[in-house]
Every structure is written in C-alpha cells, then in structure tokens.
Structure 1
Amino acid sequence: MDAIRPLVEKLAQELAEEVISLRRTIHAYPEIAFDEFKTSELIQQKLSQWGIPYRANIATTGVVALIEGVPSSHGPVIALRADMDALPIAEESGKAYCSTRPGYMHACGHDAHTAMLLGTGKILNDLRNHFQGRVMLIFQPSEERHPGGARIMLKEGIFQTLKPDLIFGQHVLPELETGTVGLCPGKYMASTDEFYIRVMGQGGHGATPHLNIDPVVVASEIVLALQTLVSRRAHPAMPTVISVGKMVADGLANVIPDHVEMEGIIRTFDDAWRATLHDLLRETVSGIAQSHGATAEVTISKGYPALYNDPAVTERVQRYAQQYFGDSRVKTLPQRMTADDMAYFLKEVPGTYFRLGTGNREKGITANLHTARFDIDEEALQQGVAFMAYLVLSEMSHRQTPH
C-alpha cells in the first residue's frame, strides 16, 4: 500500500476544493428525513458526470452506486455508507454558507458525510484498475427520524442482488481534533426507543385539589420513578438512559388540566434488558397512575438496535488508520448513548463505524453535534475522503493476500 497512498493523497488534494463546494452547497439547502430531493439530485448529477453507475429513488431519495474494479469478480464487495438528512434546528453559525432554509440545518455533519463519500467514490473510480472487487456507495436518507432510511433501503432489497462482504461508515466528531480518528470495537452506540405517555386525571380549580385528580402530580411522580428503573433495576454494568424530554400540562395558573402528555427516550445496549425495560416502564406508569385514581396510556415506538462494530474488522481499520494518520492520532473511543441506524447495516454485514475528527480549537470550531452553532473544520474533508479510499484499497489488498 506504500505505492498507492501518494496517489490517493494526490487525487484527494485535487478534489479538495470541489468536495468543500459540494459540502457547502448541501449545507446551504438542508433537507430533513425523506425530503432530501435536491441532495439526491446533486449526488446523481456528480455520479453521472464521473461515469459511476447508480440506482436512485430507493427509500424515496436514497442512491446506491457501484464501482467495479478490474477484474471485479475476483475480489470482495465493500460498501460505504453516508447519511444525507438534516435537522429541524435554526442555524446560528453565521457562516457564508449558512442554511438558507429557516428552521433547518445540517447540525450533525451529514452534509460532510455525503460530500466525502462522493469524493471517495471519485477516487476509487479513477483507481479501479488498481483493485479487484467492487465498491458499493450507499447514500442513505433519514438517519435522524424513525423508522430510519437504512431499514427501508434494506427492505427494498439493496443487498439482495449483491450483498457486501463488509461495510464501513464514518461520522464527524467535533470532540476530536482534525487529523485524528476514533474507533470503538464491539458495542459502540446504544439502541433507541421513544415512549409517549398520556396521563388522564380530572381537572378543576387549582384551589380545590381535593376535588380533582391532578395529572400534573401523577406525571411528576412518573418522571422521578422512571429514573429508579435506571438506578435500581438496571445492572450497574449495563449502560441505560431514560430521559423525559417533553411534558405538556395545558392548564393555567389556577386550572388543573384533565391530562398531561409526556415524551421521552430509552437507550441501552442489551436486547433482553431492552425488552424488560419496556415492560417495567409500562408497569411503573400504570401503577403510579392507579395509585392516584388516574389512568395512563403508554406507547413505545421501537427504534434502532444497538450498533455493533465487528472487533476483528475494527482492529484492521485501526491498523490502517495508524498507518495513515500515525499511532498518536488514532484514538480508542468509549461507548456512546447516542444512536444511529447504521446499526441495521452492521447487523446484516460485518464492518465498523468510526469517527473523523473535525474540531479545531484554534479556529473556534468546538460546537457539539445537534447544536445551532455546529460546524466542521473543512480541512478534515480532504482527510476523510483520502482515508476512506485508503481504507477500501487496504482492505481489498488484505483480502487478496494469503494469510
């Protein structure tokens, strides 16, 4: 791989300005889940321009492209995935390429993921005479919203005619400085479920609580009791989060409402405990409501599974990263309680999901993901493009070398 690295870096450098331009174009026109029509059109335009065949309109806006090495049939099939959707957040970055759509922004870096995957695809297509095998480029809609685009793309059969041997994905991370990458073998990201609770009581005057069944008090007790499921029912070694993020009690200063509505999330890593936790949540809510003479309805929307990075594959990717970036710039990451529907792809195909450092304290680029001031250090784009191409070529070489 010593001979191919300078070529990859040269091509990435030549593409750097175009990848930045693509990222800024996507950033300026953010589109939320399953509405990524202009983003999809831009992807298709670039793939057509570069002579890379693709299929479009998968899971509404998804695109899957295929690059064939020479000869393609003698090597592995490696899939690369990027998500495309934005978030309903009003941007406050003040950048020249700031969102032009009020109330929407790319606050999770999916604009960068898409632009980098296009750049990596261009490099691999230019170098298709240098590897045996095939590379599948997956541009996925709706990572941010249940049920997620990955699950729908799989249901629509993107792996039926050609199933990858491996899949890789990268996600920007401002906590890591530009020029670094981070990996976590095994269970890396939590499963995610959403719950919706409606507590029904009997409203009335705030000065006569004895004549009412106060759903605000019931809901408040439920919020606190749910935390004991984490502290007293979960195994101490099992990461678990239950958070209530929304509670609406539409009364007045002197009016107790008839009902209260709550919404929240459940995060953990073990499927058996996840199912038990659903039951415990329902039992807890029902029991508290009954003890006050109220009733409650609970709906749990099951979301993404926990994300699992194949340890052996992750170890190889770590080695490639150390070769590319240097040992000191490759970090071992802890588990995250955030979730990502890349998990569905990784349940079908072994692979790994790693983090690309995009923070830069000297430039003041430190805002966290999902915040209104989030941005990336665009110098990281060239590194992400080049390393993903280097990763694919390294893995192709690994699989063709006798061990």
Structure 2
Amino acid sequence: MPSRHEDFIKSIKQLALTHEAEVIDIYHYLHQHPELSFKEYNTARYIENKLAEYGINSKRIIETGVIAEIQGDQPGKTIALRADMDALPIQEDENHSPRSKTNGVMHACGHDMHTASLLGTAKILQELKDKIKGKVILIFQPGEEYMPSGAKMIMESGILENYNIDWIVGQHTDPEVTTGKIGFRAGPYMASADEIYLTIKGKGGHAGFPHQLNDTVLAASQIIVSLQHIVSRRKNPVLPPSVISFGKFIADGATNVIPNEVKLAGTLRCMNEEWRNEAKNLIRNTAELTAKVYGASCEVNISHGYPAVTNREDFTLLAQSEAKAYLGNENVVELPMRMAGEDFGFYTLKYPATFYRFGIKPAHQNESSSLHTPKFLGDANALKTSMGTMAWIAFSYLAKIK
C-alpha cells in the first residue's frame, strides 16, 4: 500500500501534468515579450494577473517586482521561492520559435522559464494549501542581470522582514543538463562577481625615447601579471577557487607613441567572502605599487558586485533528498562549482538558502547553446519537471505528512 508521502508525490506529478500546457503557454508569452532589467513593467502586470486568476493575492515591490503569499490552513514554517524576470540586450537567432518580438532584447538566460515555472509551482501549491501548515512566499524578482541588483534592492527594502523566512529556494536553467534532471551542490556553489577598473597614468611620449617617459603600457602589462600572483601566492590554497581576469586593455597610442593613460577592466571571482575582501585590498596595493615602480600612478576602482552563492548544507541536502524521492535517484545529479555570478547570493548572506538547476537540454541533443548567446533556447518540456520538483520541495517542507 502506498504511503501518504507517495500519494502526495503522485498528486503533485498529476497537477504538474495537468498544468503543463498552460505553463508552456506562459513561457512562450514571456519569451516573446522580454524586458530588460528594472523595466519589467509588462512582465510584472502579467504575473499579477496570473496570480489573481489563481486566487493568490500579490503586491508590487521595488517598482517592477512582485511578491505574493500562499497561506496554509495552520501556522508553521515559511519557505520563500524566488524567480528572476529580466531579459538581456541580445538579438535573438531568427530561426527560433518562439522568438522575441522586441528587437535587440531576448531571454538568453532562461528567466522566462524561471518565471513560468514559479507560476506553475504557485498554482499547484495554491490547490494544495489545505494540506500544508505555514506559508509560501513567492518572489518574482526584477534586475538579476545588472547592478544595483534586484535581490540587493529587495533585501535593502526590508520587505522580507515581514515574513519570517525560514528557507529561501531558487532555481536556474542548465543547458548542460538533460531535460527531466535536476542538479544540486551543497556548500559554496557560485562565485562572487566584482568588477575591477584600473587607470594607469604617466608621462607618455615617443616610443624611441623610453628613458624620457613613463611607460604606461609596460606598467599596465606588469600589473596584470602581478595580480595573477595574488591568487597563486597570496590565497590560502585550501580555500575554494578564485579568479582574477582582465578582458579589456585600452592603450590608445600608436606604433611609436606611448600614451599618457592606459585603462584596464577585469573581474574578481571568489567563493569565500573573507578572502574576497582581502583580495580587493591586495589588488589595490599591488596595482598602485607596481605602477609606482615605473614612475606612473594607478587609480583603482573595484565595484562591490554580487556575493558568492553558498547553499546551506543541511537544507540543500534535504532538498536533494526530496528531489530524489520525486524524480528518482537517476534524475538528480551533482553540480560542479561555477565561477559565474548570480545575485541570489544576497539572499544567502541572511537566510538558509538553496539554489539549484534544472536541465533544459533535449535528450536527443548532444550539445545545446550556452547562456547569454543569441541561440539560447530552453526545452519547454523541462517545465513539468521544474515546477513539480519545486512544488514538492516546498510542500514536503511544510506539509502535514505523518
């Protein structure tokens, strides 16, 4: 005889199947109508209308965000579920179907799928609310792609203080994982993301007379080399990985002209907040002192970007276990660390948190297009898995299962 646990899993799977077509329609609509960070006005209205249709009250936050609450029939714990909403300034591949109707803007990171999936999860949980105790907070967050960061703004607004959140959960598409599978990693998962801007200044001049000038180009080159030693020689090797990379080097001189000024732009990625702060100081000191050796100066500006995403181990292992119960062990995979950034990290600084991924690569494809590219397009069949799994994780945490 099936247990109540198995009965509830069966019920959620059936609801996910029942609502799959509607959620795919939502995904297609959002994909065709993308909006850039902090301009998600139509998206927010669409979400509000859908939630109202499901009988879920919502309210607007930080102008283009939406927060809603599903209250169980008894008091209990509170779980927050988050989806981001914004698109990217990328022209979508003309062969896609569905395809963005907004020139130069597309959902190239799967946020349309995240939003559609959370709406599906909301509908499932709303229909099961008499079986849970506690409440579910739904966070539809704008502006994940760019600072000042929607997550940071929501945290600073204090709105979440009204809900006494015990656990916050988010998910993201993964084009490297097959549709129908979910991936987890407990502990440090995604890197912090800070931007580094350096301006090396000196006395430029004729390249044939290096003794009469300050070689800003050589100084800038040596700064890049010296900064690599921070990771290889100053970081404790037992700490999680860290990266300092530069992708922009502007020396507007000529074959025989050393410019007065060179500009560098790069990124610092860390998995540990204490080391992140130390590394920033080392970058500043190293750049300034290296420039001084060449008789130049260096202005250092390091923006404070997204913190690392650290998944609370006990909660994440719980979520992983429930995902295995829902999908089967063979459909839950272990994720590697990622040096990419994600503003979900702001939530992890305050709350027990779990950020996981759901596969969107069709089973018949050996490769799929990467995130943030014109060819990126998720497999709509993944939505049944994503909304059902998130619903089960939340339900099992709050449900009155004996």
Q: TM-score range by the shorter chain?
A: over 0.9
Where structure 2 has 5 or more consecutive residues not aligned to the other structure, the ranges are none
Residue 170 of structure 1 aligns with an amino acid whose one-letter code is Q
Paired residue type of 2:119: L
Any unmatched runs of 5+ in structure 1?
none
For 1:88 and 1:289, how far apart are their aligned partners in 2? 36
Which deviates further from its counterpart, 279-288 or 369-378?
Answer: 369-378
| 1:93–1:375 CA contact under 8 A, matched in 2 | no
Q: Distance in 2 between matches of 1:296 and 1:154?
A: 34
Among candidates 368, 371, 391, match of residue 369 of structure 1:
371
Which residue number in structure 1 is paired with residue 50 of structure 2? 46
Return the match for 1:327 from 326, 329, 332.
329
Residue of structure 2 equivalent to 1:13: 17
- Is 1:23 the counterpart of 2:27? The answer is yes
Matched, 1:116 2:117: yes
Distance in 2, Cα, partners of 1:295 & 1:40: 47
Q: Which residue number corresponds to residue 89 of structure 2? A: 88
State the partner residue of 2:144. Answer: 143
**Alpha-carbon displacement from aligned partner over 1:30-84 (angstroms, at most 9, x marks no partner):** 222211112112111211222210110x22211101111223xx22111100011
* Distance verdict in 2 for CA 1:130–1:365, change over 3 Å: farther
Distance in 1 (alpha carbons) for counterparts of 2:211 and 2:29: 60
1:364 offset after TM fit, Å? Answer: 6.0
> 1:190 and 1:288 mapped to 2: Cα distance?
27
Does the 8 Å contact 2:176/2:367 carry over to 1?
no
Contact 2:179 / 2:363 at 8 angstroms: preserved in 1? no
Match of 1:233 in 2: 234
Q: 2:217: which partner in 1?
A: 216
1:290 aligns with 2:298: no
Give distance in 1, aligned partners of 2:94 and 2:138.
30
Letter in 2 for 1:201: G
Distance 1:188 1:258, change over 3 A: same
Inter-partner Cα distance in structure 2 for 1:14 and 1:322: 22
In structure 2, C-alpha distance between the alignment counterparts of 1:309 and 1:24, rounded to whole Å:
31
3-state SS in 2 of match to 1:154: helix
In the TM superposition, residue 289 of structure 1 has moved relative to its aligned partner by: 0.9
2:92 touches 2:104 (CA, 8 Å); kept in 1?
Answer: yes
Confirm whether residue 60 of structure 1 aligns to residue 71 of structure 2: no
In structure 1, the partner of 2:320 is 318
Which shows bigger deviation, 205-214 or 147-156? 205-214
Equivalenced residue count is 397
Residues 81-114 of structure 1: CA deviation (Å, up to 9, x unaligned)? 0011122233236212222333332221111101
User: Post-superposition shift, 1:119?
Assistant: 0.9
Q: Which secondary structure does the structure 2 equivalent of 1:152 belong to? A: helix
AA at the equivalent of 2:69: L
What amino acid is the match of 1:391? I
Q: TM-score, normalised by structure 2?
A: 0.93
Q: CA RMSD in A?
A: 1.8
CA contact (8 A) 1:178 1:360 kept: yes
Give the corresponding residue for 1:266: 268
* Equivalent in the alignment of 1:107: 108
Which range moves more in the overlay, 16-25 or 284-293? 16-25
Give the letter aligned to residue 312 of structure 2. Answer: D
Look up the match of 1:357.
359
**TM-score normalised per structure 1:** 0.93
Q: Secondary structure of 2:14's partner? A: helix
**2:353 is aligned with what amino acid?**
G
8 Å contact from structure 2 (residues 88, 105) kept in 1: yes
Matches of 2:290 and 2:135, distance apart in 1: 57
Match of 2:73 in 1: 70
* C-alpha contact (below 8 Å) 2:100/2:106 kept by paired residues: yes
**Aligned equivalent of 1:393, options 375, 378, 395:** 395
CA spacing shift, 1:87–1:254, aligned 2, 3 Å: farther
Amino acid at match of 1:164: I
Q: What does residue 154 of structure 1 align with?
A: 155
Partner deviation per Cα, 1:299-339 (whole Å, 9 max, x = no partner): 11112222221111111111111111111221122222122
Residue 202 of structure 2 is matched in structure 1 by 201
